[in-house]
Structure 1
Amino acid sequence: MRNPYMVLGVPRSATGEEIKAAFRRKAKASHPDRNHDNPDAAARFNAINSAYEIIGNSEKRRLFDNGHIDAQGRPLTRKSVFSGFTGMNSWAGFNFKRAKPQGFEETGSTTTEEKPETREQESHEEIMERIFGESFVRSKAEDAPGLDEHPEPDKADLDLHAEIEVSLEEVLSASCQDAELPDGRIVKVNVPAAVEDGRVLRLHGKGVQASDGQCGDAVITIRYKAHKYLRTDGADLITDLAVPLKGGILGAKLPVDGLDGRFLVKVPSWSGSDRVLRVRGKGLPNGGKGRGDLYVHVRLMLPDAKDDDLTAFAKSSL
């Protein structure tokens, strides 16, 4: 588990509100529902939540900062700074009895001295704590190598994620768009022509800069804006065409609005509302294979005003 401060992209001095704000930004940008084409999104989202569980909680944050728990909230075993020194093994047999003056004779009287057997069972750490104080050993242990294990951040943790929306008309040609990053910066994104919905563009070096000098990227996901009358199906487009009842029976040529402007389509005679007309090459760019098609769904419409002749005809046909 990586350092939760690096996962959320905040310094150790960050306030609780700053940590909460960073968590919300990163969780929103990395949520799997918004990153269907990114297989790493779920793992990153889980890492962001785990990091916030540690430093988003004041008590757990205090324990983590003091080295009492690791990045997963597990207790850390306090090590002695004197462990590993082979020369210290000779202390095990050391006799802590004070030297008695020559001619001194023991009596049966009680003494305030601890029994030698008790002292001989003390560990190296307990001995040094008793001599120098517990705070000395703790402070030295926390400074010892391997105890404050905060590995260098993974470069992916330094990335900043954002989304930009492009209109279907803009997909036909290259454009330059503004993207707002989670840290509030605005970056320019050159969106290529024929860009696909969900495509990820990477701006190198525009992410978070770590203390060791490495810098993440700005990862921008492209989303199509909802169109007022066109729907997408891959590279194909779908639209509805209102056809008067007379045109559906006798046939008609009616205008249709597409990405390239308005054009006429021929509605064959006797076309019901289940009829779909295909107009080739009027869809979206299809990955270097030209363009998709436009599918026009016929929707028969009754006249706005009541038509007595149509009413009579309907009654006569029953």
Structure 2
Amino acid sequence: MRDPYSVLGVRRNAGPDEIKAAWRSMAKAVHPDQNKDDPLASQRFAEAGRAYEVLKNPKLRDRYDYARREAELRRMEEMKRKAKGTEEETIDPETAEEMISRIFGANERAKSQTARPQNRKPAAAAPQAKAEAKPEPKPEPRVEATPEPETKPDVKAETADKPPAFAVFPRAAAPAAELVSAIVRRIRGTANKNTEKVPDIFCDVTVSVEDIFRREKATATLPDGQTLKVALPAGTTDGSIVRLKEMGYRLNGMQRGDVVVAVRIQEDGTFRTDGTDLRTTLAINIQDAVLGCETVVDTLTGLVSVTVPAWSGSDHVIRLEGHGLPTADGRRGDLLVELRLMLWEKPDEKVTDLMRSLRGGLFL
């Protein structure tokens, strides 16, 4: 069974009403009667039904969330164990550069240099023989009896050349990363490894108005399936970009990339966003619209009293200052209350007679 939250398209902290609304919308969209030409409609409808059965039952939902967290912890422990038990495969940077040079045909000069010593084998052999013959008649036991100074630099070189172990991170360097780095540098036409940067990762995260107001961390899903917690700074609006420095992919010899997250605000609740301002709708009847009234409106911090002026139509907007989203300078935006003229559920005879008399030019 797939993730029931993904099947219904709801957040993991969604309430029962949101889950029920998502199920109704999904059921209408994938119902077999509405998709007779789709052979997979029944399968999707059944899958949505199973997801709703799990999420609407608190016990089943808690059991599924617990099992998912346990599986995630086991997976992370396995990744840590593998990262600690195995060393990363590395390639000498110069060897990688030579390999890429051969691939791109840039080692013609090296080939010509290696061909010249082959043509001069007889001439080169004589100096070598002389050089080798010189130390033979002068073997000094002091030089042979002191191997320790020669072994110590070798040990230091091995420890210096050994790459440092990276921290356990799901986007750590992959095997043969130095070879990939050499390819990227060759394609970009530069060999300066210090200034090259791994391409950034781009993803979206969907949050609610309440999440931004409470400054809760959002969960972003990267293209490789990994999840990342994203802190929402003050002043976050729909379309804001949050850049996480050096949290992207890592390649040997290159600067680690960033994660660029685009924030999308889900506006299916009480409030709609207009920058850091919020908009909401207040329904009033014709009597309150003509005579005015005192009522309450829902805000992010609770109910607030509001005065509807007399003779207010549906184009009237009441502004409540300081009841919007947090701004970057520490203040808050405003809440714009849009009036919506509504009639009573059942027809009122007095109002009907009044409107009829006004239309006919009669006054009671």
TM-score, normalised to structure 2's length? Answer: 0.45
| Residues 1:292 and 2:309 are matched in the alignment | no
Once the two structures are superposed, the pairs formed by residues 9-48 of structure 1 within 5 Å of their partners are: none
Residue identity (%): 35
| Residues 1:199 and 2:236 are matched in the alignment | no
| Residues 1:208 and 2:249 are matched in the alignment | yes
Residue of 197, 200, 209 corresponding to 1:159: 200
Gap change, CA 1:150 and 1:317, over 3 Å in 2: closer
| Residues 1:302 and 2:343 are matched in the alignment | yes
CA–CA distance in structure 2, aligned partners of residues 80 and 193 of structure 1? 54
- Which residue of the partner structure matches residue 233 of structure 1? 274
Gap change, CA 1:284 and 1:79, over 3 Å in 2: closer
2:350 aligned counterpart, secondary structure: helix
Summarize deviations over 1:176-205 as a string: whole Å, max 9, x none: 222111122112222234433333223333
| Residues 1:150 and 2:204 are matched in the alignment | no
2:242 aligned counterpart, secondary structure: strand
Contact 2:198 2:251 (C-alpha < 8 Å) held by counterparts: no
In the alignment, structure 2 segments of 5+ residues that lack a partner are: 1-101, 116-184, 360-364
- Which residue of the partner structure matches residue 273 of structure 1? 314
Contact 1:208 1:215 (C-alpha < 8 Å) held by counterparts: yes
1:315 aligned counterpart, secondary structure: helix
Gap change, CA 1:156 and 1:302, over 3 Å in 2: farther
Contact 1:229 1:239 (C-alpha < 8 Å) held by counterparts: yes
In the alignment, structure 1 segments of 5+ residues that lack a partner are: 1-65, 69-77, 89-147
Residue of 177, 180, 183 corresponding to 2:218: 177
CA–CA distance in structure 2, aligned partners of residues 278 and 266 of structure 1? 11
Structure with higher helix content: 2
2:231 aligned counterpart, secondary structure: strand
Gap change, CA 1:210 and 1:305, over 3 Å in 2: same
- Which residue of the partner structure matches residue 144 of structure 1? none
1:297 aligned counterpart, secondary structure: strand
What's the offset of the Cα at 1:208? 1.5
| Residues 1:187 and 2:228 are matched in the alignment | yes
CA–CA distance in structure 1, aligned partners of residues 358 and 219 of structure 2? 61
Q: Which one-letter code corresponds to 2:218 in the other structure?
A: Q
What's the offset of the Cα at 1:82? 6.9
What's the offset of the Cα at 1:174? 2.6
TM-score, normalised to structure 1's length? Answer: 0.50
Gap change, CA 1:212 and 1:157, over 3 Å in 2: closer
Gap change, CA 1:312 and 1:156, over 3 Å in 2: farther
1:292 aligned counterpart, secondary structure: coil
What value does the CA root-mean-square deviation take over the aligned residues? 3.3
The structure showing larger relative contact order (alpha-carbon pairs under 8 Å, at least 6 residues apart) is 1
What's the offset of the Cα at 1:244? 0.8
Q: Which one-letter code corresponds to 1:300 in the other structure?
A: L
**Mean Cα deviation higher: 150-159 or 293-302:** 150-159
1:175 aligned counterpart, secondary structure: coil
Gap change, CA 1:155 and 1:196, over 3 Å in 2: farther
Contact 1:175 1:193 (C-alpha < 8 Å) held by counterparts: no
CA–CA distance in structure 2, aligned partners of residues 83 and 155 of structure 1? 26
Q: How many residues align?
A: 186
What's the offset of the Cα at 1:85? 6.9
2:187 aligned counterpart, secondary structure: coil
CA–CA distance in structure 1, aligned partners of residues 206 and 107 of structure 2? 56
- Which residue of the partner structure matches residue 108 of structure 2? 81
What's the offset of the Cα at 1:83? 11
